[in-house]
A = this chain, B = another copy of it.
Amino acid sequence: MSWWVENGPKIAEGALRIALTLLIAVVVRFLLRRLIDRLTRGSSEKRKPGILRPLRERAPQALGALVSERREQRARTIGSVLKSVVTFVVFGIAFIQVLTELGMNVAPILTSAGILGVAIGFGAQNLVKDFLSGMFMMLEDQYGVGDVVDLGPATGTVESVGLRITTIRDTNGTVWYVRNGEILRVGNSSQGFAIAVVDLPLAYGANLPEASAALSAAVTEAVEEELLAADVIDKPDVLGVEKVTPEGITMRVTVKVRPGRQWAVQRALRAKLMPALDEAGITVKSTT
């Protein structure tokens, strides 16, 4: 009884503190989750997560419904991952806090965790890097399934987009698993439009104005044929003499085309323009 008198208040205070701890944990978790919601989901009129909005100095092109839906879904998934992490961390700390209130000495736990954290941290930094890179690449919508991309370690068509790795398939059908943290820059050939670039080698002494005229006529004719016309979205452009090297002269022709069609158009143009030059009597590197 007297024990109760003596220890009662202490116990009551302890219980109070534990309750307070749990309450704060719940509140903090709620606030952090709302913050995540605001940052990643965004309201319907401002798609891009808040934290990434500032200073993108040019307005994005009008996005199709498909893309905006993809973005919304991605932001939702990332948000759900972040929320799991927040729940784990907040309740973990609250758990340790409660142990303290129960009179346990938590120093060993914290120190052990610290040592483990540092020891593994060194080795796991690539993992963290991969996930963080993946998260940002998704939020920034750098590429989607089906895009033709150059990720550095490999080039091809995107097969799947993951938080840790991106999978692409190259022209040989090989599937490449690329860790997101290893992707230092992304080249996406499937955004908005593409430009078909055709370089044609001429011999020294070739009549340049005639060559230019012949190319101009040939390429204009070529892009109006049925097969190419659907892909071309702007008038072709004979840029002129691109290079003068000891090996010869190079003329360049460019055409703006639908994204993903540049390689087919380039092949078709090469097959058309080489004979055109021949017919016009331009020496095409044949008399080396």
Contacts and interface: CB of A to CB of B under 8 A. Distances in A.
Interface in A85-130: 89, 92-93, 96-97, 99-100, 102-129
A64 interface: no
Q: How large is the interface on A (under 10, 10 to 19, 20 to 34, 35 or more residues)?
A: 35 or more
Nearest to A108: B96
Contact of A104 (B97, B150, B162): B97
A65 B259 CA distance: 36
A55 B188 contact: no
A148 to B, nearest CB: 9
Contact of A244 (B140, B153, B165, B274): B274
B122 A56 contact: no
B115 A113 contact: yes
Interface in A154-175: 154, 159-165, 170-175
A175 B150 CA distance: 10
A77 B97 contact: no
Contacts of A200: 244
Contacts of A221: none
Given A177-B185, A193-B173, A271 B212 contact: yes
Contacts of A40: none
A245 to B, nearest CB: 7
Given A117-B115, A162-B52, A174 B153 contact: no
Contacts of A214: none
B154 A172 contact: no
A86 to B, nearest CB: 11
A121 B124 contact: no
B138 A55 contact: yes
A160 B278 CA distance: 43
B140 A177 contact: yes
Contacts of A129: 123-124, 126
A208 B178 contact: no
13 contacts: A52-B162, A57-B70, A57-B144, A57-B161, A97-B109, A114-B114, A122-B124, A137-B177, A173-B192, A175-B191, A178-B185, A241-B267, A241-B271
Given A55-B74, A110-B112, A124-B129, 4 more contacts: A55-B163, A58-B145, A100-B105, A110-B111
Shortest Cβ-Cβ A-B pairs, 8 listed: A123-B128, A122-B125, A240-B267, A173-B195, A241-B270, A173-B194, A153-B185, A115-B117
